């Protein structure tokens, strides 16, 4: 089986030791001619290892487009993305799939669990798809940390929304990815479940040295992050380190005015 580490790194490939994800000159245009829409307009950004970043902006600001490009789910019109020292634009589709499998975890607003599998089977699915057996210690650690010890044999229909999203987070972490991308991970949760999920994600960063990049519209969720990146009209308009909820709201009001 070919794995990402078997792919030769191009001579002269740039490596940033502290940044696990980097993007340079990212542009993404949808459509052509007079109907073309420029969703991103030359974004330069980097995410340090072991950091928690929230991305915010008004509707149509380009935050979801940016997340998809950073995660290798879409390719930019121009510019490049690097994950853990590998430039995505230098990979064909097969090796890009391998990189996402080995280096990237995902948590979406919709839990995206397979209904016929138990919680434990959903968690270990990325490992088994890669043709490996789950690390028993890693599995037990995640089940314990996510509070799923008494739910491991339950199927998604038998779990609450908060429990399903905790399964999704554990699934994203099981492969020890270089980075976890979250697309509105608290969007379908009530306030109690949302706070618990954010606490667990914060714990993954602080204790497991995980890197998390999360798109959110919720200032309370963004305030849990180490920094917040603000976008408007496809460009980064500002970055705040450890902002309060009030500071986040002030930034969003300014973008909307």
Q: For residue 90, what are the CA distances in angstroms to 47, 75, 85, 181, 242?
A: 20, 11, 12, 21, 34
Instruction: Look at residue 7 and tell me whether its pLDDT is greater than 50.
Output: no
Q: 59-81, pLDDT tens digit by residue?
A: 999 999 999 999 999 999 999 99
Q: How many Cβ atoms sit within 10 Å of the Cβ of residue 149? A: 9
Query: Where are the chain's structural domains?
Result: 50-74+91-256
Which candidate, 74, 51, 84, 34, places its Cα nearest to that of 226? 51
> Which residues have C-beta within 8 Å of that of residue 120, sequence separation ≥ 6?
139, 143, 152, 153
Cβ neighbourhood burial of 102 (10 Å; 0-12, 13-18, 19+): middle
Class of domain 50-74+91-256: alpha beta
Strand partners, 21: 47, 83
Lowest mean pLDDT among 11-20, 21-30, 151-160, 219-228: 11-20
This prediction's pTM:
0.88
Q: 174-226, pLDDT tens digit by residue?
A: 999 999 999 999 998 999 999 999 999 999 999 989 999 999 999 999 999 99
């Amino acid at each position: 089986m070919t794995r990402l580490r078997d792919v030769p790194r191009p001579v002269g490939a740039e490596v940033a030791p502290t940044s696990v994800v980097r993007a340079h000159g990212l542009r993404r245009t949808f459509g052509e001619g007079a109907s073309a829409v420029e969703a991103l307009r030359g974004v330069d950004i980097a995410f340090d290892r072991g950091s928690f970043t929230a991305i915010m902006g008004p509707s149509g600001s380009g935050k979801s487009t940016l997340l998809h490009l950073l995660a290798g789910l879409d390719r930019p019109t121009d510019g490049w993305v690097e994950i853990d020292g590998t430039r995505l634009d230098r990979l064909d589709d097969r090796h890009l799939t391998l990189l996402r499998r080995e280096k990237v975890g995902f948590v979406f607003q919709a839990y995206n669990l397979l209904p016929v599998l138990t919680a434990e089977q959903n968690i270990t699915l990325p490992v088994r798809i890669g043709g490996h057996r789950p690390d028993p210690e890693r599995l037990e650690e995640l089940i314990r940390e996510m509070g799923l010890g008494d739910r491991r044999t339950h199927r998604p229909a038998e779990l609450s929304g908060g429990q399903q999203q905790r399964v999704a987070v554990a699934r994203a972490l099981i492969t020890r990815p270089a980075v976890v991308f979250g697309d509105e991970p608290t969007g379908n949760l009530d306030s109690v479940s949302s706070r618990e999920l954010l606490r667990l994600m914060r714990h993954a960063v602080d204790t497991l040295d995980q890197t998390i990049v999360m798109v959110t519209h919720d200032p309370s969720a963004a305030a849990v992050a180490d920094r917040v990146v603000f976008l408007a009209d496809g460009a980064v308009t500002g970055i705040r380190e450890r902002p309060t909820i009030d500071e986040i709201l002030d930034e969003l009001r300014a973008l909307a005015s």
